[in-house]
Amino acid sequence: MSTHIHSAGDLLIDRYEVVKYLDEGGMQQVYVAKDGVFGRRVALKVPKNASAVKRFERSARMSAKVIHGNVAKTLDYFDFNGRSYLIEELIEGQTLWEKLENDFHILDPHLAAHLIHNLAKGVAASHHVGVFHRDLKPGNILVSRDPGLNSIKITDFGIAKMAEEEMVEAFKDQDSITGSQTAMGALPYMAPEMITDQKAAGLPADIWALGAILYQLISGKPPFGRGLNAAVAIVTGKSPAQPGIFAMKPQFSPLTDDLWSIVSACLQKVAADRPSADQLVKMCERLCYSSSERRTGSIQCFRGTGRGQWGFIDVDGDGQVFFHRDSFYGEKITVGDRVSFASFPGVPQPRVFPVLPLKP
């Protein structure tokens, strides 16, 4: 981790007061700051070195064009004491990458459908104004900390380009855009054309990325693996196999079938064969998924045999709920395991569906 550029209390342009350091990536450091004009907390982003400034400026310019509830709002951009700064709305949450690493083995079909639907709407809004994100991946998606992921925002348009612009300009500053850390992080979500002919890549590459992300949500891993071996698999265009849990959990059909249709449509090797962002939104609108509020708890007991297996969950801070094995989207049920779930009225206890195991 690099040295922090700012400390709490630093005041920029007599308006933004640094509250605390928040996070950093390969290109930038992020701080929580207080906007003295509107009295609100914002995310203050600053490039870590001179080579990142051009990419950083492009991020501000591109993201400001996209206004949608599933895209992080760009609020301000300015220079101060020889550095550039981007002000975004502050998302009280974490990246999807962090959420997958820390909380989820996989997502159940309902939560995955909720997430991909919102991402598709954000990408469609971007495409409507001709902005091609180019770097969609879990690390560039911000989600709220609640178990239902109620807030979903796309951010970091660092290598975005207007669709009608020549792609070559984006790759003049090779060190800042295609450095190994950035490339390795983006590779599992890169469309074939992003690997073989970046100058020709366009809006359909964002659709491929959404398909790769959805596959990871429902399987627990990117469709073609990680590292340089992923590039070979992506370029060959061989379709990934369906997650084995689909066959184990037939009660979640036809939603899993519909999600797989979306994955298959997005991961078409030929860019012209993929749906547009608007078509993808329409596909998501036809998904029949629950967006009920989710809570967390621990498996208190589990009884019965065969399809008659059932148990109770101790809800965090609030009693018990009943669940049946068929509602459990995982393999092994162990007393004490952490789970998330949506609950519905029932007698004598509320019933839950689905039940999703969480990481310890």
DSSP string across 96-162:
HHHHHHHTBSS--HHHHHHHHHHHHHHHHHHHHTTEE----SGGGEEEESSTT---EEE---TT-EE
Q: Which residue has tokens 């609030």?
A: 318
Domain 94-285 sits in which CATH superfamily?
A: Transferase(Phosphotransferase) domain 1 (1.10.510.10)
Give the tens place of pLDDT for each residue, 201-258: 889 999 999 999 999 999 999 999 887 788 888 998 788 999 999 999 999 999 999 9
According to the model, what pLDDT value does residue 200 have? 75
Structure pTM? Answer: 0.89
Cα–Cα distance between 311 and 277 in angstroms, integer?
42
**C-alpha to C-alpha distance for 228 and 211, rounded to whole angstroms:** 19
pLDDT above 50 (res 172): no
79: Cβ contacts below 8 Å, ≥ 6 apart: 85
How far apart are the C-alpha atoms of 134 and 199, rounded to whole Å? 12
**Higher per-residue pLDDT: 350 or 179:** 350
Mark residue 53 as left, alpha or beta (left: phi above 0; alpha: psi -120 to 50; beta: remaining).
alpha
Question: What integer is the mean pLDDT of 26-48?
Answer: 92
pLDDT at 33: 97
Confidence of residue 27 (pLDDT cuts 50, 70, 90): confident
Q: 162 near 130, Cβ under 8 Å? A: yes
pLDDT at 160: 58
* CATH code, residues 294-357: 2.40.50.140
Paired residues of 35 in beta bridges = 16, 40
Residue whose structure tokens are 């309902």: 110
Phi, psi of 84 (to 5 degrees): -100, 150
pLDDT at 183: 57
The domain segmentation of the chain, as residue ranges, is 11-89, 94-285, 294-357
Name the percent of the chain lying above pLDDT 70.
91
Q: How confident is the model at residue 158 (pLDDT cuts 50, 70, 90)?
A: low
Domain 11-89, CATH class in plain words: alpha beta
Residue type, 278: D
* Predicted confidence (pLDDT) per residue in 96-135, tens digit: 999 999 999 999 999 999 999 999 999 999 999 999 888 8
- Dihedral sign (CA 141, 133, 187, 4): negative
Q: How many of the other CB atoms lie within 10 Å of CB of 192?
A: 20
Which residue do the tokens 């991909």 mark? 116
Q: Which residues are catalytic?
A: 135
Q: What pLDDT score does 311 carry?
A: 95
Interatomic CA distance for residues 328 and 349, integer angstroms? 17
